[in-house]
Amino acid sequence: MRYDEYRGFDAVGLADLVRRGEVHPTELLRVALERCAEVDPALNAISLLMELNGKELAGRAEPGGPFAGVPFLIKDLVQDYAGYPTSCGTGPLRGVPATQHSIAVQRWLDAGLVIFGKTTTPEFGSKAITETRTFGATRNPWDTARTPGGSSGGSAAAIAAGIVPMAGASDGGGSIRIPAGSTGLFGLKAGRGLIPSGPVIGDFLLGAATEGVLSRSVRDTAVMFDVLGVPDPGAPYIVARPEQPYRTAVDTPPRRLRIGFSHESPLGTAVDGEAVKAVEDAARLLEELGHTVEPAAPVVDGKQMAFDFMTVWTASAATDLARACAVSGAAATDFDIDTQALAAVGRAVPAPELMAAHGRWNVYTRALSDFHARYDLLLTPTLAEPPLLIGQNRTPALADTLLPPLLRLGAGKVMSRTDFYRDLVTANLAAVPFTQLANITGRPAMSVPTHWTATGLPLGVQFVGPSNSEYLLLQLAAEIETARPWFDRHPSI
């Protein structure tokens, strides 16, 4: 098989070729590895190449399962593969192999996927860019001077560059949707409880995070939801599933919907004109498809919501850092300075304050529920601006020098109480202010690649649905995909 032939199929299509005996999994893996060798030096999308593992899986692959024989990459965060390290974007954890497969990895193997590597992520998935001290910067295939987003940036770069048609991802604050919006891909974050994260992790980020995939086609994600969305008796949540398989959603047009849209940042920060254009263009397309679209947004205090989100996030960062030091024997100073700062703030949060911040998540959930009582879906930009330049969101060199001694003196407690910290939270989320609401509320949300900027950069739009609306979102995404195809749009890399 030639690369141009390989690129012309999604994962379901490649599995169908394997099932019909028209191509062998070893041939698909050969093409994927050759493409990886060709483009990854410029992208830095792969953190760990598991070539021998992939060849073993491809050699004994059976033509059963929905993705039998298809090359696949997993995210180097939470998605444990027994015998290989899950580095979480860090240096110290590169030497700590996982003792068992995560549930998602086992389900991917059972579905027939040929896993041959892990993709880059920022340390502990804590940024909307993919840049670390250990692995360096991962670059966007549409413009290698820019980020592919984060934290599933490596997966997004690998898919957009044509190494694989689909890859593992996860989303705790936008980490599926932000990379999808940055690289011209489709990304659907499942609602709370649909996709289990076990067995090591149960209630990931107090229910804000979920595992999933990024893909080039809606049907790949739909079929993947059937693979990943099976209830786990040991999971903290068991939620309702639709009566019909998710894969049927792509063949069933949605009912005519009432959709509220907004391109105003909930933080009150600036939104680039291209992001505004993306939403207005999507609104016009939806009207052409027969949907009712009008300006509307949930009534929330966006700045307070961001702070309440970050209060939980920093406490989680402190826990992640302590656990990583314990299992690796490393010191906190062996990790990125950003991680050290987040953890210091997290350790300074009193338990009552943490519980109060998490308790206010209910306020935002109720506000979104009130919105969905009037509108089927919420439409916003995925990003407030085109993908950032590499280094644009990097910690300044001066802070890199000054923070370590301050943190040793216990500056985390002082910093968390200052207006400076609140302003810093707002500034760091200003480029991605639209995605955290769906994580806080546990609602499904997707980024759909409907818009490219005047300079040729993808800039997706986000749809947020009510509880258990994954099927509806897939239906709408498939309708948009037919009306505004994106599968054959490729970067020039």
Report the catalytic residues: 75, 151, 175
Cβ pair 167, 115 in contact under 8 A:
no
Distance, CA of 28 to CA of 63 (rounded, Å):
13
Residue 473: its H or E element: helix 470-483
Beta-carbon contacts of 298 under 8 Å, excluding residues fewer than 6 positions away, are 364, 367, 368, 370, 371, 378, 437
Sign of CA dihedral 191, 81, 220, 216: positive
Cβ pair 179, 171 in contact under 8 A:
no
Residue 262, Cβ neighbours under 10 Å: how many?
17
Cβ pair 342, 313 in contact under 8 A:
yes
Distance, CA of 417 to CA of 475 (rounded, Å):
45
Cβ pair 245, 397 in contact under 8 A:
no
- From the list 12, 90, 62, 151, the residue with the least C-alpha distance to 328 is 90
Cβ pair 45, 158 in contact under 8 A:
yes
Distance, CA of 380 to CA of 378 (rounded, Å):
7
Tokens of 30: 């050969």
C-alpha dist (Å) from residue 121 to 45, 90, 224, 314, 399? 9, 9, 21, 18, 22
Radius of gyration of the chain (CA): 21
- According to DSSP, the residues that pair with 143 across neighbouring strands are 140
**Upper half-sphere CA count for residue 447 (Cβ side, 13 Å):** 34
Distance, CA of 57 to CA of 45 (rounded, Å):
22
Beta-carbon contacts of 374 under 8 Å, excluding residues fewer than 6 positions away, are 258, 260, 296
Beta-carbon contacts of 292 under 8 Å, excluding residues fewer than 6 positions away, are 256, 257, 258, 259
Cβ pair 226, 65 in contact under 8 A:
no
Strands (E), 55-200: 71-75, 114-119, 131-132, 136-137, 166-171, 186-189
